[in-house]
Amino acid sequence: MLLLPPALKAQIESEARAAFPHECCGLIEGARAGDAIPVTALHLSPNLSAARDRFEIDPAVHFNALRAARANGLEIVGCYHSHPNGTAEPSVRDVAGAGEEGFVWLIASLGEPGTPVQLGAFAFTGARFEPLKIGIWGSLDPAAGLRL
């Protein structure tokens, strides 16, 4: 289960709306606690892809996110991006671009401005994506314990 604080959920929704009709993208910082993956920070990246229906994370953002996660005693557990006018499920391009086993992909789908954003989370198994439940938790500090 991906555990997402309400403020970070709102951040992803805001980024997806701001990028529309292009895809937003970024990296997810967190920890792995058994079957739970609490998210502690998001690292927004400019989308380097010129195509509306693709995303490419800036390598400098990736490097800085890795350094920040390491400094926090955490890790980059996944990425997020939006699917404007699409579904909150991995696309054919997402499957082709996935590579790291266990890496989480959080996808925000939205239609025209004003429509609700839908979130879907998936873990890459090395061959395909497996859906993850998304739980909303109230603390950004994993040491404080999980409050669902």
Domains along the chain with CATH numbers: 2-135 (3.40.140.10)
pLDDT band at residue 115 under the 50/70/90 scheme: confident
Report how far residue 63's alpha carbon sits from residue 123's, in angstroms, rounded to the nearest whole number: 22
pLDDT > 90 fraction of the chain, expressed in percent and rounded = 82
Strand partners, 100: none
Give the CA distances from residue 36 to residues 49, 78, 93, 134, 136, in Å, rounded to whole numbers and listed in that order: 32, 13, 27, 10, 12
Side chain identity, residue 124: F
The yes-or-no verdict on residue 141 having pLDDT over 70 is no
Interval 67-92: pLDDT, tens: 999 999 999 999 999 999 999 999 99
**Predicted pLDDT at 109:** 96
Element (H, E) at 115: none
Average pLDDT of 94-103?
A: 92
pLDDT band at residue 145 under the 50/70/90 scheme: very low
Report how far residue 139's alpha carbon sits from residue 135's, in angstroms, rounded to the nearest whole number: 12
**Predicted pLDDT at 114:** 78
Beta strands 37-45 and 25-30, pairing class: antiparallel
- The tokens for 74 are 């955490």
**Predicted pLDDT at 9:** 96
- The tokens for 34 are 């058994």
Report how far residue 89's alpha carbon sits from residue 131's, in angstroms, rounded to the nearest whole number: 9
**Predicted pLDDT at 144:** 45
Average pLDDT of 5-29?
A: 96
Report how far residue 12's alpha carbon sits from residue 27's, in angstroms, rounded to the nearest whole number: 11
Question: Does the pTM of the predicted model rise above 0.85?
Answer: yes
> Across all residues in the chain, what is the average pLDDT?
91
